[in-house]
Structure 1
Amino acid sequence: MAENRYYGVRVEGAKYGVGFGSALAISISYTANHSILWAIIHGILGWLYVIYFALFRS
């Protein structure tokens, strides 16, 4: 029974992490490019765009 509870916590944490990464990517992209289309594309990429922006564009 303890295993099921641990698994539920991991799934919920991963779900919220992906949502936050997408929101962060959208806000960074729109601020940098002022384009809704690029913001949507970067929102799909999520954390990949956030890491790219942190390494190469800041």
Structure 2
Amino acid sequence: MDSYKKTTIKSGITFGSCLAITISWSLNQSVLWAIIHGLFSWLYVIYYLLMK
């Protein structure tokens, strides 16, 4: 089970990053902001939900 988790983590972006990028793009239409918000992932998603 541990090797499966390690492979999944190494294989790409997380769900939180994808969600943050999607929200950021829908609000700003900016690649730069989408990348920045993707790096902060769940922090940005929680911020968006609180400020909505």
Do they fold alike, i.e. is TM over 0.5?
A: yes
Identity of aligned residues (%): 52
Give the root-mean-square deviation of aligned CA atoms: 2.5
TM-score normalised per structure 2: 0.77
Counting helix residues as a fraction of each chain, which structure ranks higher? 1
Q: Which of structure 1's runs of 4+ aligned residues deviate more than 3 A?
A: none
TM-score normalised per structure 1: 0.70
The higher radius of gyration belongs to 1
Q: Which residue of 2 aligns with 1:31?
A: 26
List alignment gaps of at least 5 residues for structure 2.
Answer: none
Q: How many residues align?
A: 49
